[in-house]
Structure 1
Amino acid sequence: MKIKLLLLASIVSFMAQAQKKPVPNFSLNAKIGQLNKPAKAYIDYMDNGVSHEDSAVLVNGAFRFAGHVSGNAYARMALDHTGGGKMRAVYTGDVIYFYFGKENFTVTSKDSLGNAVFKGSKIYNESEAYNKYIGGTIMALNKAANADFSKGTPEQQKDTAYIKAVDTRYRANMEKRNQKQLQFAKEHPNSFFGLVALSEAAGGKVDVPKIQPIFNAFNKSLKATDVGKELEQRINAAGITKIGDVAPMFTQNTADNKPVSLADYKGKVVLVEFWASWCGPCRAENPNLTKQYQLYKDKGFNILSVSLDSEKGRWLEAVQKDALPWTQVSDLKGWNNAVGRLYGVRAVPASFLVGTDGKIIGKDLRGESLNKKLEEIFPN
Structure 2
Amino acid sequence: MKNILILAAISLPLASQAQKGTFRIEGNIGKLNTPAMAYIDYMSDGVGKEDSAAVTNGKFTFSGVSSGYSYARMALSHDGGGKQKAVYTGDVIYFYFGAEKIKITAADSLANASFTGSKVYDEFQAYNAAIGGTIMDLNKWANGQVSSATPAQRQDTAFLGRINATYRKRMADRANAQIEYAKKHPDSYFGMVALSEGTGTPVDVNRIEPIFNSMSERLRMSDPGRELQQRILAAKTIYVGASAPRFTQTDINGKPLRLDDLKNKYVLVEFWASWCSPCRAENPNLTKQYAKYKNLGFEVIAVSLDDHKDKWLEAIAKDQLPWLHVSDLKGWNNEVGRQYGIRAVPANFLLDENKHIIAMNLRGEQLNKKLAELFGN
Superposition TM-score, scaled by structure 1 size: 0.92
Partner residue in 2 for 1:70? 67
Which whole-Å deviations, capped at 9, do the CAs of 1:61-102 have from their partners, x for residues lacking one?
111111112220000111111111111111111111000112
Aligned pair 1:351/2:338, yes or no?
no
Alignment of 1:1-380 (within 5 A): 25-380=22-377
Which whole-Å deviations, capped at 9, do the CAs of 1:194-222 have from their partners, x for residues lacking one?
11000001123111111101111111111
* 1:239 CA displacement: 1.4
Letter in 1 for 2:367: L
Would the aligned equivalents of 1:48 and 1:225 in 2 still touch at CA under 8 Å? no
Pairwise CA RMSD: 1.3
Structure 1 counterpart SS, 2:230: helix
Letter in 2 for 1:229: R
Would the aligned equivalents of 2:39 and 2:51 in 1 still touch at CA under 8 Å? yes
* 1:24 CA displacement: 5.2
CA distance in 1, matches of 2:89, 2:148: 23
Structure 2 counterpart SS, 1:260: strand
CA distance in 2, matches of 1:377, 1:185: 45
Runs of 5+ in structure 2 lacking a partner?
Answer: 1-19
Letter in 1 for 2:363: R
Structure 2 counterpart SS, 1:90: helix
* 1:300 CA displacement: 0.8
Structure number with greater Rg is 1
Which whole-Å deviations, capped at 9, do the CAs of 1:320-364 have from their partners, x for residues lacking one?
111111111111111111111110111111101111121101111
By relative contact order (CA 8 Å, sep 6+), the higher-ranking structure is: 2
Structure 2 counterpart SS, 1:319: helix
Runs of 5+ in structure 1 lacking a partner?
Answer: 1-22
CA distance in 2, matches of 1:189, 1:252: 35
Would the aligned equivalents of 2:42 and 2:71 in 1 still touch at CA under 8 Å? yes
CA distance in 2, matches of 1:93, 1:156: 25
CA distance in 2, matches of 1:146, 1:82: 23
Which whole-Å deviations, capped at 9, do the CAs of 1:136-179 have from their partners, x for residues lacking one?
11111111112233454322321222222221111111111111
Partner residue in 1 for 2:6? none
Letter in 2 for 1:114: A
